[in-house]
Homo-oligomer: A and B are copies of this chain.
Amino acid sequence: MNELLSALAAAVGAPHVLTDPESMAPHLTDWRGRYTGTALAVVKPAGTAEVAAVVRACAAADVAMVPQGGNTGLCGGATPLPDGQTVVINLSRMSRIRAVDPANNALIAEAGCTLAAVQQEAASVDRLFPLSLASEGSCEIGGNLSTNAGGVHVLRYGNMRELVLGVEVVLPDGRVWDGLRALRKDNTGYDLKQLFIGAEGTLGIVTAAALKLFPRMRSRATAWVAIADPAAAVTLLARLRNAGGDRVTAFEIVGRPALDLVLKHLPGARSPLADPGAWAVLVELMDASADAPLGEMLEQALAEAMDEGLVLDAAVASSLAQAETLWALRENVSEAQRLEGVSIKHDISVPLSRIPEFLERADAALLTVWPDARIVAFGHIGDGNLHYNLSKPNAQENTHFIARTEEVNRLVHDVVDQLGGSISAEHGLGQLKRVEVRRYKSEVELELMRAIKECIDPRGLMNPGKVL
C-alpha cells in the first residue's frame, strides 16, 4: 500500500495524491448525494503520460481504479464503492484545449475540460459545439464522452457519441491508444473509439477527444406552446420538422404538475400563458443565417396548428430575455422537484411514436396501485426521452412511497420494455441501474457485454461495480 502511494506520488507529484479524508471527500460522494464511497487515494494527473503511469502503478499493485471527471453523473458511475479498495483518478487537471482547427470543424480537448470551456472555445472561432446540458459549467468532456451525454440538442445534433471524431485512451494495463484522428471518414478496421464512448470508464480512461464543430447559429426563435396531450406534441413536432427541417433544434415537453412545481418554487416564475393547459412544449428553432425569419416561420406554423385544434395557445418569445425566461421554466423542473421533496426518478426512452402510449400505460399502472401519486413528467420528447418522476404531495405519505421505489421502478420499466424502450436513455447505468438492466437485456446481449469487458479489462481493474 505504501509502495503504491509512493509510486503514485512519483507519477503525479505528492501534492496531487490526496489521502486525507477531508480533501478526498468531494471525490467520494456523487453530485446528488446518493452514493458515498471510500478510496485508498484520489490522484490528479496533469497529462496523459501521468495517467498512464498512475494506471501502471495501480495495475502492478492489483488495485482497481475509478476514473472521474466533473463528478456530475446521476447514476454513481464516478463514485467509488464503499469497500475502500480503489484509487480514484480525477482528470480535472487535464483541462487543455490541445488544438482548434475551424477549417476542419474540429478541436481536440483533454478529458478535464469543462463542457462550457469547449463550447466557448468553439464560439471563439465562430463555430458551435452543440452538446448542451444543465451541468455544462462543471461537467467535463471525459465524463460527457464516457456517459454518452445527451441534453437538449440531441434532436438535431445527436448524443455525445455522434460528436466525437477520435479519442485518446489509457488502457487498463497502462498502454496509451492514440486514436485522436480528426477525420470525418476513416474505414480502416473496427471503430475502436465506440467501445470507450458510453462505457462509463469500465474499459479504460479517456484522456482526450477530437470533437466535431458545426456552423454557428445566428438566429433563434423560441415558443411556449400549450397542448391537450402528448399525442399533440408528437404531431406538432412532425409538422414543425416538415416545414422547418433541422431548424428545429429543441423540442421539450413539460407536464402541468412539473410546471406547477416550477411556478411554486422558482422565485418570480409565472406561466407564459393565461391557461397553461395540461401539457406544454418548449420549441426552439435555430438557423446559421443571421436574418432567417424564424419568428415568422414559427408563428405561422403555430397559428395553423391552433386553427386545427392541435395547439391550444402559444407564446413566441420576442426577445432573448423572454426566450431565457421560457427556458428557465423547463430547466428548473429538476431543481423545483428537489425543493418539493424526494421523488422516484426515471430516465426512459421509447420510440417517439409510442410516447403517448407509454404515458397512458405507465400512468394507469401506477395510479391503480397508488391513486394519489403525483406524476411529474417532462423532458426531451423530441428524442422519445422522458424524465418520469413520482412522489406524493404529503411528506409523510411520500416517505412510505419512496420506500417502494423498486416496485415503482418495476411497473414503469416493464412498460418501457414492452414498448421497445430503454430504462436509461441518457444517464447511463453506473451503480444505480446495473442490476436492474439485467432484467431487460437479453442473455445474448449481456454475454456480449461481459465478453467485451473481459477482452479489454481481463483483470477487472477499471471502475468495478459499475455497468456490469
Contacts and interface: CB of A to CB of B under 8 A. Distances in A.
Interface in A143-177: 147-148, 150, 154-155, 158-159, 161-162, 171, 175-177
Contacts of A423: 188
Interface stretch (A269-277, A325-333, A447-455): A447-455
A351 B185 contact: no
A349 interface: yes
Q: Considering residues A246, A287, A350, A437, which has the most beta carbons from chain B within 10 angstroms of its beta carbon?
A: A246
Given A242-B216, A352-B105, A185 B444 contact: no
Nearest to A380: B185
Interface stretch (A54-62, A195-203, A334-342): A195-203
Nearest to A204: B448
A429 interface: yes
Interface stretch (A35-43, A96-104, A315-323, A401-409): A96-104
B425 A187 contact: yes
Nearest to A434: B189
A187 B453 CA distance: 16
A179 interface: yes
Contacts of A383: 184-185
Interface string A437-468: 10011101100110111111000000000011
A442 B183 contact: no
Interface string A236-274: 001001111111000000000000000000000000000
Contact of A192 (B162, B380, B422, B449): B449
23 contacts: A103-B352, A103-B353, A104-B351, A104-B352, A150-B185, A158-B162, A159-B185, A183-B421, A183-B422, A184-B383, A185-B380, A186-B424, A186-B425, A187-B426, A188-B437, A188-B441, A189-B198, A191-B198, A192-B448, A194-B194, A195-B452, A214-B245, A215-B242
A428 interface: yes
A385 B185 contact: yes
Nearest to A240: B215
Contacts of A215: 241-242, 244-246
Nearest to A383: B184
Interface size class of A (residues with CB under 8 A): 35 or more
B190 A422 contact: no
- Which 6 residue pairs are nearest across A and B when measured between Cβ atoms? A245-B288, A194-B194, A103-B353, A455-B455, A186-B422, A185-B425
A126 interface: yes
A171 B183 CA distance: 30
Q: Considering residues A189, A243, A380, which has the most beta carbons from chain B within 10 angstroms of its beta carbon?
A: A189
A427 interface: yes
B177 A350 contact: no
A181 interface: yes
A433 interface: yes
Contacts of A155: 184
Contact of A191 (B102, B148, B442): B148
Contacts of A51: none
Contacts of A411: none
Nearest to A422: B186
A29 B19 CA distance: 65
A234 B103 contact: yes
Contacts of A297: 289
B184 A349 contact: yes
A390 interface: no
Nearest to A423: B188
A182 interface: yes
A112 interface: no
A384 B185 contact: yes
A352 B440 CA distance: 43
Contacts of A426: 185, 187
A178 interface: yes
A103 B437 CA distance: 27
B246 A449 contact: no
Contacts of A442: 177-178
Contact of A353 (B104, B420, B444, B467): B104
A296 to B, nearest CB: 12
A4 interface: no
Contact of A187 (B190, B424, B440): B424
A164 to B, nearest CB: 11
